[in-house]
Chains A and B, each alone.
Chain A
Amino acid sequence: MLTLRLTNYLHGTVRVKISGAIPERFINLCLARGIFLWGINKHNDDVYASLRLPDFFRIRPLARRSHNRVEAVGHAGFPFTLKRVRRRKMLVVGAVLFFVFLNLLTARIWFVDVSGHKEVAAERITGAAAAHGLRPGIAKADVDLKAVEKEMLLALPELAWVGVNLTGTRALIEVVEKTLPKAGDKSPAHIVAGKDGVITEVIAIAGQPAVKKGDTVKRGDLLIKGFAADPPPAARDQTPIITLPASYVRAAGIVKARVWYESYGEAGLAQEVLRRTGRKAVAVSLRADGHELALKRVADQPFTRFETEVVHKKLSGGRNSNFAVESIINIFHELVAERYEITVEQARDIARGKALAAVQDRIPEGAQVLTREVTTLQTAEPRFVRVKVMVETVEEIGQTMNINLQ
């Protein structure tokens, strides 16, 4: 069936109207001559039929012999398409040019992207790539990717590995940087207290401890002195060693202390919650190249209470991620305040939660919490609950502070 339709298309087909006394006679004559007809139907005493274009030129004598009038009413197929195309030569020229340009443009590299870099600037990597032939606009055939990889490794000693991949017109340079050992600060320093507390543990790795277990320290107090440790005292039968003024070192060590934190939280019995009413106003603006163009505006204060939701819409995708045009949609949701009462217990829980959240921010990650004490405070206002939270932790409080030798 497909081959039949294909040959019909290639030959071209003509729809004819057969009018006369006995159209059947014409149809039978066609049959005798081997002319293929299809889609025969009758419409107001006229018979319509389809046939192939080469056959159409053979039916004139048959029509005359059967005393019918045959009239072409429609046509389709390749010969007719070709005729139309011949009249519109520029269309064909345009189509050919399109493919030629497509081929020419896809044979070049237009984008060079870098991924995997941390310390080395992307510009340095693309610069090194450009110096060895990989730059936007160059023909793919002219670039030896393996050679570029090798040359870039030599040009940038900070890189451990370079891989260049081509995807279409985009070259992706993947790099892995060498991890170099960090040059630590070697200048002499003390360790001082970063917080108030009671010392529980002092381990001096370098320097001389200035505090001992049980001491109370204030923020800024010296914990480990940045002096070299004293030499051991001389034995009784040896000549005493003259102690020179201690030289400075960079103090290092662990100083742990008990630290107390305190915070307050309060909550009223009357609570208010904001809820969206469902009414909203939408403002749409278009931003292109730094300019903003409002497409749809709303009044400055559309509702008495509202919250704003901002949606940025961009043409995203691949290399055009920093596409110049974006649309910004501001949605203003109207809010309504709802009041309700809570019990004293619930208010206390809320106040406690607030107080704990406030204190949690100040406790460092590695701290070990010893106790957590919550006390409800008496307040003058009857419809108000105030809570105090005390947290005791043991944590590292040492902070390195460089010694200014001048």
Chain B
Amino acid sequence: MQRRRKGNLQRLAGLLEIPADIVLDLPRITMLGNKQLLVENHKGIIEYTGALVRIKLSQGELNVAGAELTIGNFQAEQLLVEGTVTEIKYET
């Protein structure tokens, strides 16, 4: 049921040319090389160490692995991970 509703919404978004991240409440992830990772529309962090940042999303989580990771900016709308990113893993 939910899946069908989502499919409809996605079709509607495509029809009206509205960005899908707004309609579907999806995170928008922007990377600047391997130096910066900006996650918009996140739901908080689950775990944070210098080598791993686990970010909670509306569905699942995003695991960012790397070295000397710091969170440069932490707000309700966006989260900026700085350092050397080596791996990004999406878990649903």
Enumerate chain A interface residues (CB-CB to B < 8 A): 23-24, 27-28, 30-32, 34, 36-42, 47, 49
Assess whether A39 is in contact with B49, with CB atoms less than 8 Å apart. Answer: no
Stretch at the interface among B2-10, B11-19, B26-34, B70-78: B70-78
- Please name the residue on chain B nearest to A31 by beta carbon: B44
Assess whether A38 is in contact with B50, with CB atoms less than 8 Å apart. Answer: no
From known contacts A31-B76, A34-B76, A41-B50, infer whether A24 and B45 are also in contact, taking CB-CB under 8 Å: yes
- Please name the residue on chain B nearest to A51 by beta carbon: B74
Residues of chain A contacted by B48 (CB below 8 angstroms): 23-24, 27, 40, 42, 47
Inter-chain CA distance A41–B71, complex, in Å, is: 6
Is B46 interfacial (CB 8 A cutoff)?
Answer: yes
Inter-chain CA distance A34–B72, complex, in Å, is: 16
Indicate which residue in A30, A32, A42 contacts B50 across the interface (CB closer than 8 Å): A42
Indicate which residue in B44, B45, B70, B76 contacts A41 across the interface (CB closer than 8 Å): B70
Inter-chain CA distance A83–B47, complex, in Å, is: 38
Indicate which residue in B47, B70, B73, B75 contacts A24 across the interface (CB closer than 8 Å): B47
Enumerate chain B interface residues (CB-CB to A < 8 A): 44-50, 69-76
Residues of chain B contacted by A42 (CB below 8 angstroms): 48-50, 70
Assess whether A27 is in contact with B72, with CB atoms less than 8 Å apart. Answer: no
CB distance from B75 to the nearest CB of A (A): 6
Assess whether A36 is in contact with B75, with CB atoms less than 8 Å apart. Answer: yes
Residues of chain B contacted by A27 (CB below 8 angstroms): 44-45, 48, 74
CB distance from B31 to the nearest CB of A (A): 19
- Please name the residue on chain A nearest to B47 by beta carbon: A24
Residues of chain A contacted by B45 (CB below 8 angstroms): 24, 27-28
Assess whether A40 is in contact with B74, with CB atoms less than 8 Å apart. Answer: yes
CB distance from B88 to the nearest CB of A (A): 19
Residues of chain B contacted by A38 (CB below 8 angstroms): 71-74
Assess whether B44 is in contact with A28, with CB atoms less than 8 Å apart. Answer: yes
Assess whether A24 is in contact with B74, with CB atoms less than 8 Å apart. Answer: no
Inter-chain CA distance A41–B69, complex, in Å, is: 7
Residues of chain B contacted by A41 (CB below 8 angstroms): 50, 69-71
Inter-chain CA distance A311–B49, complex, in Å, is: 67
Residues of chain B contacted by A47 (CB below 8 angstroms): 48
Which of A28, A30, A34, A40 has the largest number of chain B CB atoms within 10 A? A40
CB distance from A16 to the nearest CB of B (A): 13
Inter-chain CA distance A32–B45, complex, in Å, is: 12
Residues of chain A contacted by B76 (CB below 8 angstroms): 31, 34
Inter-chain CA distance A19–B20, complex, in Å, is: 39
**What are the 9 A-B residue pairs with the smallest beta carbon separation, nearest first?**
A40-B71, A41-B70, A28-B44, A37-B74, A42-B50, A38-B73, A24-B45, A31-B44, A24-B48
- Please name the residue on chain B nearest to A23 by beta carbon: B48
Residues of chain A contacted by B46 (CB below 8 angstroms): 24
Assess whether B74 is in contact with A36, with CB atoms less than 8 Å apart. Answer: yes
CB distance from A36 to the nearest CB of B (A): 6
Inter-chain CA distance A171–B55, complex, in Å, is: 71
- Please name the residue on chain A nearest to B75 by beta carbon: A36
CB distance from A44 to the nearest CB of B (A): 10
Assess whether B70 is in contact with A39, with CB atoms less than 8 Å apart. Answer: yes
- Please name the residue on chain B nearest to A33 by beta carbon: B76
Assess whether B44 is in contact with A40, with CB atoms less than 8 Å apart. Answer: no
- Please name the residue on chain B nearest to A43 by beta carbon: B50
Residues of chain A contacted by B50 (CB below 8 angstroms): 41-42
